[in-house]
Amino acid sequence: MTSTKYWVIDTGALQGELSGNTGHYQDLGNLAHHLWEGDGVLKVRYNSISQSAQIEALGTVITTNAGDGTASISWQSVAFNITPSPKGRRHWETKAYFILNAQRARSYELPEKFADAFGDNTWLTHKIHDSYYHRNELGGQLPTLDVREGFVYLMQWEHEYKIGKAVDIERRKKRLSRELNRDITVLHRIFSHDYTRAESDLHRKYASKRLHGEWFALEAEDVAWLLSIDQL
């Protein structure tokens, strides 16, 4: 079964030459490592006032060259809007590009929209790989897409431990406690110059102890080891 990721890419992040319906893009940096042939791309212009995204074109990645930082994308013009949820809005507002999770891609009916745009119903049968899979299953083989400083945190609720990342951990804790209705405790934070990779490394380290999402059934020695680290 063919696998596809659905990318949201701001119109300003794709600088290159257009030949017919195909765009040839250079200087993509780490993005070229993450784009794969067959991925779907939404070319987006986000409006902060209306808090909605205008989708100007749908594309499929034809070729990529990570070494050269280049990619070619075949485009079909479209015109429709997407209104992100309040929780997901920050990605559209602040990021030049990101991968939609599988559930969101389906809720936006992207397989159907790509099938219509390209006249190809095989889009309807593609398995959707989301950002979580891409980051945690394959992240060890890829450079970080968006390198940022921040913290990897260790939180606890009863006998479950959460390993996640944040810049403002206290704000993250308050939001989690409210959303999950749990009395969550922050046990530790670890600074990293690349907190996305640090988080992914720890998720892979404890993959066999994962309960769900970012929650793990850690042993006492696992917790002690994490508490001993100040920087990753």
Average pLDDT over residues 107-114: 97
The per-residue pLDDT for 87 is 84
> Dihedral of the CA atoms 19, 98, 107, 42 (nearest 10)?
-10
Q: Give the pLDDT of residue 134.
A: 56
pLDDT tier, 137 (very low <50, low <70, confident <90, very high otherwise): low
- Residue 143 makes CB contacts below 8 A (sequence gap 6+) with 30, 33
pLDDT tens digit sequence for 145-201? 777 788 999 999 999 999 999 888 888 899 889 888 889 999 999 998 888 888 888
- CB 156, CB 187: distance < 8 Å: yes
User: Between residues 106 and 48, which one has the greater pLDDT?
Assistant: 106
pLDDT band for position 43 (50/70/90)?
Answer: very high
Please, what is the average pLDDT of the chain? 89
Tell me the per-residue pLDDT of 52-89, one tens digit each, with 9 for 90 and over.
999 999 999 999 998 888 999 999 999 999 999 988 88
- Ranges 23-27, 48-52, 53-57, 94-98, most confident: 53-57
In the chain, the percentage of residues whose pLDDT exceeds 90 is 54
pLDDT for the residue 63: 95
**What does the CA dihedral 29, 31, 32, 34 come to, rounded to 10 degrees?**
150
Q: Quick one: pLDDT at residue 148?
A: 75
pLDDT at 95: 81
Q: Cα separation of 105 and 25, whole Å?
A: 24
CA angle 166, 172, 175 (to 5 degrees): 155
Mean pLDDT of 30-52: 91
Statement: residue 9 has pLDDT above 90: yes
Mean pLDDT, range 96-116, rounded to an integer = 94
Examine the pLDDT at 135 and tell me if it is beyond 60: no
